[in-house]
Amino acid sequence: MRLQLRVSVTGRSAWSHPTTCCSAAELMSVLFFHTMRYKATDPRNQCNDRFVLSKGHAAPILYAAWAEAGFVKEADLINLRKIDSDLEGHPTPKLEFVDVATGSLGQGLGAACGMAYTGKHFDKSSYRVYCMMGDGECSEGAVWEAMAFGSHYNLDNLVAVIDANRLGQSEAAPLKHDMDVYRRRCEAFGWNTYVVDGHDVEELCKALWQAQQVKGKPTMIVAKTFKGRGLKGIENTDNWHGKPLPKDRAEEAIKDLESQIQNPNKTICPELPNEDTAPADLSPITLPSPPNYKIGDKVATRKAYGVALAKLGQSSPRVVALDADMKNSTFSEMFHKAYPERFVECFIAEQNMVSVAIGCATRDRTVAFASTFAAFLSRAYDHIRMAAVSESNINLAGSHCGVSIGEDGPSQMALEDIAMFRAIPTCTLFYPSDGVSTERSVELAANTKGICFLRITRPELKVIYDPKEKFEVGVAKVLRQSDSDQVTVIGAGVTLHEALTAADQLASEGKSFSWWPGRELHHCPLVAWQGITPLPPGGLAGNYTTAPWWPGRELHHCPLAAWQGITPLPPGGLAGNYTTAPWRPGRELHHCPLVAWQGITPLPPGGLAGNYTTAPWQGITPRPPGGLEST
């Protein structure tokens, strides 16, 4: 009743989802004040039971529960959704009692699976994981990927609850209140299943106690509830999703609930957890030995990834690896062979793999590396986006990038991956060009906050760096440079080696340019810094004063004549630093100042070349008529 009262108070705020909260009031009350074990004054204590609110729009009921537990000030609840309040419309880890951000439906159970797997197999601790889901989100395929994962790995420390309140946003949920179909579906996926009256406290207490006794299976509690429970004239009525209560109805609901509370001053304290989980080890993780390659050796960067991952596993027991049934292509099998107890096979379910990795990495319990073909990570893009909102420290490795995989065809080629990951806040992107830089990139990723993406390739590439070479995030290296350079070319990965070949060809003809490995976008040579960190001191102008600016090829169907850094342009802009370069201001992409054609419509008639006659040719070779001098 007190949780419902608090929700009714916040229900006067715009778009506070009071009806979806009220259907879960008894569920949350029993979970937080009967079943779960946690320290209310220390929500992120490593020993606490975990809770994931997958139906994130029911955030007010979560805030109400923590107010009842004494961690959130009751007076703060009225500030729900205000710009200066951390009590947002959907929960995020800005709040100490939130491990993963939710609100994009269907993702919470996968993260809960990752937490449960970590508790059972990595931490080997007694904490349990609870996940509250909505019936509407059960239409998401990711839910059933997680269901399959949970039963396959016998996660008996995981309990999920479906708040089956019948109503979705615009109409009834597909199964409405057909509880037998819910039961049979969950049982078919290998879950121990109870169907209960979600408003019967005693029945809920019994089901959650029984779930604790079950061994070898996760438990699903399907609770029949009614949306807007306790709100007269609103309960079980359509078209109230996400709507605030009118003032008169809110006041009426508050008075009605207040009259039903028999002991308003009674304090209920949760049971404390077992102290059987060690604090997280946050020490840096380094390769136990330098890369073992010689300049000129040929090695695929995907294989170097596997080598580096196994090395990191030797350095720290916190390092874990996940894969989507690609381990013999991504070479994560090398980690699997060395540390099978720390390898999680997620099978062909990339969405769930990313969510499981997010769950594994919560509270810094693990340093998680998840790998598959880079092209298939596009399937999990929303999960990756939410990982950034969750402030997750996960590392994703995508192999078989670009057109270099050739005969496999376009379905296997990652051509959008860098554009995808560059749009993710907090993401650091690595595109190593040889075995040495790959191993060091893996090492850097393990120690870098936020999401890291490692773009690795199938073909073997020549080793170009000495094993003792030092690497830093956002700091480029010059491979070719002379006083007679006419142009600067920047790129990475497969393209780097093609550009070096072009440089050798031009050098044999008496022409030269400097080569600066940065980040590759799409599969084209670039003349822009492509990292997501600031440029080195002085920028391009300060480091390469002899080379004019030279645009590369079309990138991801967006022709670039662009400065691709996230930081502002150097003083004077491109025009001031690169007097031979045309400048066409485009749009801004994701807080990145660009000087590129960034529209989603075609280029103007004639393209850049037709409109800007000084624009140089768009490839490294072949050269335009007249060569570089005429351009």
Pairing of strands 319-323, 488-491: unpaired
**477 phi and psi angles, rounded to 5 deg:** -130, 145
Between 155 and 14, residue with greater pLDDT = 155
**Same fold? 2-260, 298-462:** yes
Amino acid at 436: V
Task: Calculate mean pLDDT across residues 284-295.
Answer: 98
**Does pLDDT of 553 surpass 70?**
no
Fold entry, domain 2-260: Rossmann fold (3.40.50)
Of the candidate ranges 197-211, 313-327, 369-383, 582-596, the one whose mean pLDDT is the lowest: 582-596
Q: What is the pLDDT of residues 58-106, one digit of tens each?
A: 999 999 999 999 999 988 988 888 889 999 999 999 999 999 999 999 9
**Does pLDDT of 178 surpass 50?**
yes
**Does pLDDT of 607 surpass 90?**
no
Between 624 and 186, residue with greater pLDDT = 186
Q: Average per-residue pLDDT in the chain?
A: 83
Question: Which of 143-152, 473-482, 566-575: highest mean pLDDT?
Answer: 143-152
Question: What pLDDT sits at residue 2?
Answer: 60
Q: Per-residue confidence at 475, pLDDT binned at 50, 70, 90?
A: confident
Question: What pLDDT sits at residue 13?
Answer: 60
Question: What pLDDT sits at residue 151?
Answer: 99
Q: Per-residue confidence at 217, pLDDT binned at 50, 70, 90?
A: very high
Q: What is the pLDDT of residues 301-330, one digit of tens each?
A: 999 999 999 999 999 999 999 999 999 999
Whether 629 sits among the annotated catalytic residues: the reply is: no
Closest C-alpha among 394, 350, 391 to residue 374: 350
End-to-end CA distance of the chain: 77
**Does pLDDT of 415 surpass 50?**
yes
Pairing of strands 298-300, 460-462: antiparallel
Residue at token pair 């907090």:
426
Q: What is the DSSP string of 212-242?
A: HH--SS-EEEEEE--TTTT-TTTTT-SS-TT
- Cβ–Cβ under 8 Å, residues 533 and 428: yes
Question: What pLDDT sits at residue 3?
Answer: 66
Question: What pLDDT sits at residue 505?
Answer: 82
* Share of residues in the chain with pLDDT > 90 (%): 64
In whole angstroms, give the CA distance from residue 35 to residue 273. 11
**Does pLDDT of 587 surpass 80?**
no
Question: What pLDDT sits at residue 464?
Answer: 96
Q: What is the 3-state secondary structure (H, E, C) of 310-374?
A: HHHHHHCCCEEEEECCCHHHHCCHHHHHHCHHHEEECCCCHHHHHHHHHHHHHHHCCEEEEEEEH
Q: Per-residue confidence at 502, pLDDT binned at 50, 70, 90?
A: confident
Give the Cβ contact number of residue 70 at 10 Å. 13
Q: What is the pLDDT of residues 388-413, one digit of tens each?
A: 999 999 999 999 999 888 788 899 99
Of the candidate ranges 176-190, 224-238, 388-402, 444-458, the one whose mean pLDDT is the lowest: 224-238
Catalytic residue among 26, 88, 350, 520: 350
* Share of residues in the chain with pLDDT > 70 (%): 79
Residues 6+ apart with CB under 8 A from 98: 53, 62, 91, 92
Of the candidate ranges 26-30, 163-167, 323-327, 498-502, the one whose mean pLDDT is the lowest: 498-502
> Where are the domains positioned within the chain?
2-260, 298-462, 474-631
- Cβ–Cβ under 8 Å, residues 165 and 231: no
Q: What is the pLDDT of residues 106-162, one digit of tens each?
A: 999 999 999 999 999 999 999 999 999 999 999 999 999 999 999 999 999 999 999
**Does pLDDT of 574 surpass 70?**
no
Between 297 and 543, residue with greater pLDDT = 297
Burial 27-54, CB ≥16 within 10 A → b, else e: bbbbbbbebbebebeebbbbbbbbbbbb
Closest C-alpha among 511, 590, 523, 532 to residue 557: 523
Fold entry, domain 298-462: Rossmann fold (3.40.50)
Residue 122 is classified by DSSP as: I
Task: Calculate mean pLDDT across residues 518-523.
Answer: 34
Question: What pLDDT sits at residue 6?
Answer: 61
